Chains A and B, each alone.
Chain A
């Protein structure tokens, strides 16, 4: 009796299915519990990959709930590549679609932040622009366009995700207060870290990434967020090594 990988695969993922005929022990008896070793290896290794990928979500939900959710997620969105370091991209949307988690509306954005930290960790290296790259006349600063490090990530949220993340990863962090927060992930050297962006900061970075000048992006951002603090936003980017080049178009 031959056992195809399709048959093996189906039985592997569904413990309610019988062990395929044709798998035996040394005495030619049906493999029984021996097959469970493979079932268990697959389930445990993938669940552990989820814990490692989403430690704050695991802490917020508790391991028992995380086990249950991971089981459902792994069935709906199995890994499609051996690159487990990037697994879980669909997890934020999956969390957002679970009705029983709707009272924890911030979970999907926390998962996005954890994904962003992991992507940043593995992103290509880059050389930061010199610290004095923007030390030019103010009207020239306004004409500048910027390029960002591949390790930079921006996550915006209606929830206080930076405060929630910090409260669950650092001792003595203040309790989160309600309110929208944008987060900037930068990676000076090799350790990605999240930073709270000033109001409007995420909008301004999005405009800059679309190729606007600092001045145009500042005008557009200030129109919707009058309190936007350009200086503080630029300081976070420079300190985090997130700017890789500054281009100033001088008028001829």
Chain B
């Protein structure tokens, strides 16, 4: 099954986890670890050493999803050609099952900010993002998936809803989409819209992968809840419920558990993946 998944160049409709080096041995020792692994592209762009050795080893046994966090696809300035070349190299030798990036920007004026920053949903942004996605897909020679962000604020100038904006990008560029269900829940709470309504409007037929992660809770200036996407704890129950809602409409999809800060011991992460499997089990194929 794994071999077929690799050859067909797609992730299996099963749970995967974000790979952390501290889990390397447990993943290899485990009889039934997870169906696939996701890595952050930028951590595997060095020349050699342990990160690349581990990745080579894991890629022989698991479909790998490469998830970029540094391309700045929504940036007003051109994409960094050096970074694109590094990505082409990684995707070239690894031949991963999937490549995805974010609807966000992180670099301005050659200054990398190490965070995913928000975009106004306007025609100008649409043109720019589509140009950048065309360029990425051209350089790496394959389709990419684009992920919906977590939003803490909105732009007055926006003229598109986020689901419509993503649908139009997918239509114009042929890219697929990565639906982060936690991000939908975070944005819906922060910007006071219905998360189910968002899923209803979302082009689920374009979804090649689903993300789930934990978030933190804070308050804004008016004492209203402000959720912060932190990937530092368990996925909360309302997000699992929203996942069920999405899967009922989309059918089974590859589901990733993201846990990037305060990384837990393997059994805790594995339990989250088991819960994702249970969510998949109740969906007719």
Contacts and interface: CB of A to CB of B under 8 A. Distances in A.
Contact of A9 (B109, B154, B228): B109
A95 to B, nearest CB: 21
A9 B111 contact: yes
A34 interface: yes
Given A45-B115, A82-B42, A3 B83 contact: no
Contacts of A33: 220-221, 226
B83 to A, nearest CB: 6
Contacts of B70: 82-83
Select the residue from A1, A120, A122, A151 with max chain B CB neighbours within 10 A: A122
A46 B221 contact: no
Contacts of B72: 82
Interface stretch (B74-82, B197-205, B246-254, B262-270): B74-82
Contacts of B76: 4-6
B283 interface: no
A3 B113 contact: no
A3 B108 CA distance: 14
B113 A12 contact: yes
Interface in B41-98: 42-43, 45-53, 69-72, 75-77, 80, 82-83, 86
A29 interface: yes
A25 B155 CA distance: 9
B77 to A, nearest CB: 8
Interface string A149-174: 01100000000000000000000000
Contacts of A124: 47-48
Given A25-B220, A84-B42, A123-B48, A38 B112 contact: no
B219 to A, nearest CB: 8
A47 B208 CA distance: 34
Contacts of B43: 85
A2 interface: yes
Contacts of B183: none
B8 interface: no
A34 B153 CA distance: 6
A98 B285 CA distance: 63
B241 interface: no
A91 interface: no
Nearest to B71: A82
A32 B157 contact: no
B194 to A, nearest CB: 12
Interface of A: 1-6, 8-9, 12, 22-29, 31-35, 37-38, 41-42, 45-46, 49, 78-85, 120-125, 150-151, 187, 190-191
14 contacts: A3-B120, A3-B155, A3-B157, A6-B109, A9-B109, A23-B154, A24-B154, A26-B154, A38-B115, A38-B117, A42-B114, A85-B45, A125-B49, A191-B50
Interface of B: 42-43, 45-53, 69-72, 75-77, 80, 82-83, 86, 105-115, 117-118, 120, 122, 152-157, 190-193, 218, 220-222, 224, 226, 228
